[in-house]
Amino acid sequence: MTPVFNPSSPQAAPIFTLFVFVLLSCIVILALVAGLVVYACFRYRRRSGEGDPPQRFGSQKLEIAWTVAPFLLLVAIFIFTARAMSNSDPTPADASSPDIVIVGHQWWWEAQYPKGGFRTANEIHLPAGRDMGVLIKTNDVIHDFWVPQLARKVDAIPGYPNYLLLHPDRPGVYLGACSEFCGEEHAWMRFRVLVTSQSEFETWERQQVQIASAPSELLSNEGARLFQEKACMKCHTISGTEAKGEVGPDLTHFLSRHKFAGELLDNTPENVARWLKNPQQIKPGCHMPNMQLTDDQVKSLTAYLDGLQ
């Protein structure tokens, strides 16, 4: 079902209810007005042999009715809207120590977990049924963080972090997207929220905290060497190695992610190889340059990345 019709948190539910209420009101008004127009066309159309009908001017009763009825409807919509606004955006208990810090980058999302001391990209894990405080920032231009099933939209504004409360009701995968046009790859600035049970979430956290697995074969060893040599390390972090770059996504546990490049590609060895061969062909304009790698270099680097569980 379309995500907006299937809210999965106490914050998204009031938005859905308000939407349905306004939509139904509009449908009723449309049916009423269009119905009366059609009725009048047939009921009062000129028949042959008739002269002009009697002319009537003004009707106080009708004037009052069609002023008061819309006024009351607007008051009702106003009350519902105000209620939905406060329910969908509860005041944070403690904005100074968020559980997650989301940073928008052209054109991917960084997710920092300050309490665990690790970072990931484009895939945000949350436990079901718990409040998670999220701080939303940007590294460059204005982006907008939106997961329709979980919460309202929140802008990521330079110099002005915004706070959002996430509280998914049930486990599942919830898709999100940048909802503020932010440059040429805006359409591929997508992400997913993976909601699991508390214990699965903790297992994931324990795995993410670990430093990257060391390469175990000849090929992946060569890949690890190239990663340092080919400036990949200037832009990417792989914990436990020299690579501490912050321009691109953290790759420490790259293999634990389902998709990459802002949900553009499935995380398969073939796609990783295609990406490394020329990211500019796949996501034109993105901030990873064509590294002019040979096929052999691509092979070793892919082997290395595919060992980063």
Query: Per rule CB under 6 A, is residue 176 in the interface with ligand HEC?
Result: no
Query: Per rule CB under 6 A, is residue 286 in the interface with ligand HEC?
Result: yes
| Residue 174 touches which of ligand HEC, Cu ion, none (Cβ within 5-8 Å per kind) | none
Least distance from C-beta 211 to ligand HEC, angstroms? 18
| Residue 282 touches which of ligand HEC, Cu ion, none (Cβ within 5-8 Å per kind) | none
Query: Per rule CB under 6 A, is residue 276 in the interface with ligand HEC?
Result: yes
| Residue 16 touches which of ligand HEC, Cu ion, none (Cβ within 5-8 Å per kind) | none
CA–CA separation, 292 and 66 (whole Å): 70
Task: Find the radius of gyration of the CA atoms of the chain.
Answer: 27
Binding mask 83-122 for ligand HEC (x = CB under 6 A): ------------------------xx------------xx
Which residues inside 119-148 make contact with ligand HEC, applying CB under 6 A?
Answer: 121-122
Query: Per rule CB under 6 A, is residue 244 in the interface with ligand HEC?
Result: no
Query: Per rule CB under 6 A, is residue 277 in the interface with ligand HEC?
Result: no
Rank residues 141 and 235 by Cβ distance to ligand HEC and give the closer one: 235
Query: Per rule CB under 6 A, is residue 230 in the interface with ligand HEC?
Result: yes
Q: What is the DSSP string of the chain?
A: --GGGS--STTHHHHHHHHHHHHHHHHHHHHHHHHHHHHHHHHTPPPTT--PPPP----HHHHHHHHHHHHHHHHHHHHHHHHHHHHHSPPPS-TTS-SEEEEEETTEEEEEETTTTEEEESEEEEETTS-EEEEEEESSS-EEEE-TTT---EEEBTTB-EEEEE--SS-EEEEEEE-S--STTGGG-EEEEEEE-HHHHHHHHHHHHSPPPPP-SHHHHHHHHHHHHTSHHHH-B-TTSS-B--SS---TTGGG-SEETTTTEE--HHHHHHHHH-HHHHSTT-SS------HHHHHHHHHHHTT--
Query: Per rule CB under 6 A, is residue 187 in the interface with ligand HEC?
Result: no
Candidates 17-25, 54-62, 126-134, 234-242 — which segment interacts with ligand HEC by CB under 6 A?
234-242
Query: Per rule CB under 6 A, is residue 234 in the interface with ligand HEC?
Result: yes
Amino acid at 129: G
What the block records as the tokens of 209 is 């905290």
| Residue 178 touches which of ligand HEC, Cu ion, none (Cβ within 5-8 Å per kind) | Cu ion
Which residues inside 88-107 make contact with Cu ion, applying CB under 5 A?
Answer: none
Rank residues 191 and 254 by Cβ distance to Cu ion and give the closer one: 191
If we measure between CA atoms, which residue out of 276, 279, 258 comes closest to residue 267?
258
CB atoms within 10 A of CB 69: 11
Which residues inside 122-151 make contact with Cu ion, applying CB under 5 A?
Answer: 143
Number of residues lying near ligand HEC (CB under 6 A): 31
Residues that bind ligand HEC (CB under 6 A): 107-108, 121-122, 185, 227, 230-232, 234-236, 247-249, 251, 254, 257, 260-262, 272, 276, 283, 286-289, 291, 301, 305
Footprint on this chain of Cu ion (rule: CB under 5 A): 143, 178, 182, 189
